[in-house]
């Protein structure tokens, strides 16, 4: 478990940047700025970008670095209020009713109060997120929002603007302090403007070579410097190609890890073609990067690194 003593929020963009770096997240200034603004303005942060660029990671790092609890709502098709906000424990309620009956108290008001009491309430992520204490508001990650339907998105509008949820039997639960909300989407569907309007928007892009190299060296410290350099340069080349899905940062890290596991200290054509599945996930793309092409890329990478040295 991370350190759970809440730390104060950063007071400037630089502090935000340091905070992220301490959490092993190599961010650029644009991201630090928007994150800082979202923390100070208490507005949700809407992160959009291709899969594997580190959107979810931001929330995780933020929770660790700030010492806040991370509450994650993984969205999926069919997500509804009962699995996102709250649900009643029906079995316990049944028992409660039986007990009341056995005790002979048939007063309806009391029964309703007992049956629908906090004891039988199962809290789901949304409710958890808004019932945090003041000064220690949790980080609330709404992951892959594009996977739910619009009805749920519309429901979130209310939650995110007022940070409150109404449970008919209990009343309204309002957050003492708004949680730090991070929303991510992979753009498999356009999110409605109304929701975006309530958030600060940031497009998380692939990092440039220098930043990616830093990320890889931090995440895969065992990899040799040469290997990391070649891996990053190679992946950067791949991103310029016309591929159906270019590899993300997560793939670079995976690849560096895989090659380290294979005790490789540098790239060679055979290893590349053996491990290409770590980087590319579409057969078309793999076919496109046949033997010749991957060898050519490697040559380019080598000469590029040689001139850089």
Per CB under 8 A, residues contacting other proteins are 76-80, 82, 87-88, 90, 93, 97, 100-101, 106, 108, 111-112, 115, 146, 149, 151, 186-190, 242, 244, 284
- Please, what is the minimum distance in Å from the beta carbon of residue 123 to other proteins? 15
Distance CA 265, CA 268 (A): 10
- Please, what is the minimum distance in Å from the beta carbon of residue 264 to other proteins? 32
Of 83 and 217, nearer to other proteins (C-beta) is 83
- Please, what is the minimum distance in Å from the beta carbon of residue 159 to other proteins? 18
Phi-psi region of 106 (alpha: psi -120 to 50; beta: other; left: phi over 0): alpha
Residue 162 in tokens: 């007022």
Of 12 and 105, nearer to other proteins (C-beta) is 105
Distance CA 43, CA 14 (A): 19
Of 99 and 176, nearer to other proteins (C-beta) is 99
- Please, what is the minimum distance in Å from the beta carbon of residue 300 to other proteins? 23
Of 14 and 101, nearer to other proteins (C-beta) is 101
Residue 104 in tokens: 């002979």
130 contacts 173 by C-beta, under 8 angstroms: yes
286 contacts 245 by C-beta, under 8 angstroms: no
Phi, psi for residue 140 in degrees, rounded to 5: -110, 110
- Please, what is the minimum distance in Å from the beta carbon of residue 87 to other proteins? 7
- Please, what is the minimum distance in Å from the beta carbon of residue 232 to other proteins? 24
223 contacts 213 by C-beta, under 8 angstroms: no
Distance CA 219, CA 184 (A): 22
- Residue 40 DSSP SS3: helix
- Please, what is the minimum distance in Å from the beta carbon of residue 277 to other proteins? 20
Of 22 and 284, nearer to other proteins (C-beta) is 284
Distance CA 205, CA 99 (A): 58
Of 85 and 220, nearer to other proteins (C-beta) is 85
Of 169 and 291, nearer to other proteins (C-beta) is 169
Reported as half-sphere exposure (CB side, CA atoms, 13 A), residue 215 has a value of 25
């Amino acid at each position: 478990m991370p350190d759970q003593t809440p730390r104060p929020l950063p007071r400037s963009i630089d502090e935000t940047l340091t905070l992220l770096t301490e959490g092993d997240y190599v961010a650029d200034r644009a991201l630090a700025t928007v994150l800082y603004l979202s923390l100070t303005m208490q507005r949700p942060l809407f992160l959009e970008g291709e899969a594997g660029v580190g959107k979810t990671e931001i929330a995780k790092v933020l929770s660790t670095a700030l010492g806040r609890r991370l509450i994650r709502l993984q969205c999926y098709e069919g997500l509804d209020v009962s699995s996102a906000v709250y649900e009643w424990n029906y079995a316990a309620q049944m028992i409660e009713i039986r007990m009341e009956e056995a005790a002979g108290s048939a007063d309806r008001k009391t029964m309703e109060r007992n049956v629908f009491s906090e004891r039988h309430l199962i809290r789901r992520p949304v409710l958890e997120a808004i019932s945090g204490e003041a000064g220690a508001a949790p980080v609330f990650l709404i992951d892959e929002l594009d996977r739910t339907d619009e009805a749920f998105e519309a429901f979130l509008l209310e939650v995110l603007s007022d940070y409150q949820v109404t449970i008919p039997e209990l009343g309204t639960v309002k957050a003492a302090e708004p949680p730090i909300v991070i929303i991510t989407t992979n753009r498999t569907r356009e999110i409605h403007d109304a929701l975006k309007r309530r958030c600060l928007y940031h497009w998380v892009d692939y990092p440039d070579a220098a930043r990616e190299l830093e990320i890889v060296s931090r995440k895969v410290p065992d990899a040799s410097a040469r290997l990391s350099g070649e891996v990053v340069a190679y992946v950067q080349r791949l991103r310029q190609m016309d591929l159906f899905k270019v590899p993300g940062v997560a793939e670079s890290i995976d690849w560096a890890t895989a090659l380290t596991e294979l005790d490789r200290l540098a790239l060679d054509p055979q290893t590349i073609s053996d491990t290409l599945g770590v980087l590319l996930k579409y057969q078309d793309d793999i076919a496109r990067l046949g033997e010749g092409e991957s060898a050519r890329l490697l040559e380019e990478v080598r000469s590029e690194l040689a001139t850089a040295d």
